[in-house]
Amino acid sequence: MQIRVLQRSVLPGFGLTMGVTVFYLGLIVLLPLAALVLKSATVPWQQFWDTVCDPRVMASYRLSFGASLIAAAVNAVFGFIVAWVLVRYSFPGRKLVDAMVDLPFALPTAVSGIALTALYAPGGWLGRWLTPLGIPAAYCRLGVVIALTFIGMPFVVRTLQPALEDLDPELEEAAASLGASRLQTFRRVLLPGILPALLTGFALAFARGLGEYGSVVFIAGNMPMKTEIAPLLIITKLEQYDYAGATAIAVVMLSASFLLLLAINMLQWWSRRHSE
């Protein structure tokens, strides 16, 4: 394979920066992951398979991936609206709202978990109104989705903002002058333009949701087979000194998320193929 420098830069140092990149990624990302895989490799195949296929583990995978996907999807829709409002309109307090978007980043996740639980628990401010309607929010799967939505929101907003700022309002005017309806303008002109950024935001929010632990365990209730997320199972196994079982669950999660993220990246590459 031939190494090709895409664009000659006035700054030299491809060799050095590439070396640093490989070393840094190796040290920070690959080494811990390799240790994880190696550790799980010490487990006999049968035991590995039994651990992973345990109904309780399978249920936690379904919940973790399902809730993360739903939360990321919810964020993709509403995060888009937030980003749109922040970019396109100026209103008093815009800077304040803009800063608020980052709060889920900054808050210790346990704090947000406790806050959300207090809010949605049957006696909480919101739970008090939701429970009589037959919508239990805390201590059920909905609670997991709520926590993951909270955690993932900034990813979508922050990745969409620059893309929306880039989007020329003239494009919408052009579409309108050509007779396109508002829906057509959105679907055929706006959406394809921001799809790569939207997918990035979705992927980030999704990945964050998969790994999230702190905020979820408070609101989920952690009932086996029902509201137990995979990271919690890993912690449980660790507490029982079952390192092999913990790494087995982790390796499956890791592979699945890698494949999903790869797929999203391919989709993104495909949707970006004609933009400059």
Partner 1 sequence: MSIAVEHISKTFGRFVALDDVSLTVDTGELVALLGPSGSGKTTLLRIIAGLEQPDRGSGPIRFHDEDVAQCNVGDRHVGFVFQHYALFRHMSVFENVAFGLRVRPRKLRPSKAAIKTKVHRLLELVQLDFLANRYPNQLSGGQRQRVALARALAMEPKVLLLDEPFGALDAKVRQELRRWLRRLHEEIHVTSVFVTHDQDEALELADRVLVMNAGRIEQVGTPDEVFHHPRTQFVMNFLGQVNRFHGRLEQGKVHFASLSLDWPNHDSVRTQPAQVFVRPHDCEVDVCRNGHSCFQATVTHVHSAGPNVRLELRAESGESLCAEVSQERYRELGVAVGSQVYIAPREVKVFAGEAG
* Binding interface with partner 1 (CB under 8 A): 168, 170-171, 173-181, 184, 188-189, 192-193, 271, 274-276
The smaller minimum CB distance to partner 1, of residues 47 and 181, is found at 181
Q: Is the dihedral of CA 238, 244, 247, 252 positive or negative?
A: negative
> 204 Cβ partners below 8 Å, 6+ apart?
152, 155, 156, 159
CB of 261 to partner 1, least distance (A): 23
The smaller minimum CB distance to partner 1, of residues 28 and 174, is found at 174
Helices 45-53/55-88 angle, 10° precision: 60
CB of 184 to partner 1, least distance (A): 5
Q: Which among 197, 155, 153, 191 has a CA at the least distance from the CA of 175?
A: 191
Most distant pair of Cα atoms in the chain: their distance: 67
Length, in residues, of the chain:
276
What does the alpha-carbon distance between residue 86 and residue 98 come to, in Å, rounded to a whole number? 7
CB of 178 to partner 1, least distance (A): 4
CB of 56 to partner 1, least distance (A): 46
CB of 191 to partner 1, least distance (A): 10
In Å, what is the CA distance from 251 to each residue of 212, 238, 276?
A: 16, 14, 38
CB of 183 to partner 1, least distance (A): 10
For residues 50 and 192, the answer to whether their CB atoms sit within 8 Å is no
The smaller minimum CB distance to partner 1, of residues 134 and 169, is found at 169
CA–chain centroid gap for 250, Å, is: 17
The smaller minimum CB distance to partner 1, of residues 110 and 191, is found at 191
What radius of gyration do the chain's Cα atoms show?
22
The smaller minimum CB distance to partner 1, of residues 14 and 269, is found at 269
